[in-house]
Chain A
Amino acid sequence: MSPDPAYALFPDPEPATRPVPGPDLPTEPILRLTDVGKTYRSGALAVEALRGVTLSVDEGDFVAIMGPSGSGKSTLMHILGCLDVPSTGTYRLGGEDVSTMKESQLADVRNRRIGFVFQQFNLLPTMSAWRNVELPLVYAGLSRPARKARAVEALARVGLADRIDHRPGELSGGQQQRVSVARALVTDPQLILADEPTGNLDSVSTEDVLALFDELHEQGRTIVLITHEQDVADRARRSVQIRDGQFIDAAATHTRVGAAT
Chain B
Amino acid sequence: MSWLETLHTAFDAIRTRRMRSALTMLGILIGIAAVMLTVGLGQGAQKQVASQIDKLGSNLLIVTPGSTTSLTGVRGGRGSATTLTTADAAMLADRSVAPDVKAVAATSSTQTSLTANATNWTTSVVGTTPSWLQVRARTMGSGRFFTAAELAAAQPEVVLGETTAQELFGARDPVGEQVTIGSQPFTIIGVLATVGSTVGGDQDDQAVVPATTYANVVSPTAGTSVASIYLEAAGQDALSAAYQEANNALLTSHGVAETASDFTLSSQESIVQTATSTSRTLTVLLGGIAAISLLVGGIGVMNIMLVSVTERIREIGLRKALGATPRVILRQFLTEASMLGFAGGVLGLLLGMLGAAVLPSLIGQPVTVSAVAAVAAIAISVVIGVVAGVYPAGRAARLSPIDALRSE
Contact = CB atoms under 8 A, between A and B. Distances in A.
Interface of A: 78, 81, 83-84, 103-104, 107-108, 110-112, 116, 118, 122, 124, 126-127, 135-136, 138-141, 144, 183
Interface in B148-168: none
Contact of B1 (A103, A112, A116, A139): A139
Contacts of A110: 320-323
Contact of B325 (A83, A107, A126): A107
B401 interface: yes
B5 interface: yes
A139 B322 contact: yes
Given A107-B320, A111-B322, A139 B315 contact: no
22 contacts: A78-B402, A83-B320, A83-B321, A83-B401, A84-B400, A84-B402, A103-B326, A110-B320, A110-B321, A110-B323, A112-B323, A116-B321, A122-B405, A124-B315, A124-B318, A135-B318, A135-B322, A136-B322, A138-B1, A139-B1, A141-B1, A144-B5
Nearest to A139: B323
Contacts, number: 61
Nearest to B17: A126
Indicate the member of A122, A127, A138 with the most B CB atoms within 10 Å: A138
Interface in B34-64: none
B5 A138 contact: yes
B7 to A, nearest CB: 13
A93 to B, nearest CB: 14
A134 B323 CA distance: 12
Contacts of B221: none
Interface in B390-408: 400-402, 405
Interface size of B as a range: 20 to 34
A255 B385 CA distance: 58
B2 interface: yes
B328 interface: yes
Contacts of B402: 78, 83-84
A141 B69 CA distance: 71
A202 B315 CA distance: 26
Contacts of B254: none
Contacts of A183: 322
Contacts of A84: 400-402
A136 B323 contact: yes
B324 A81 contact: no
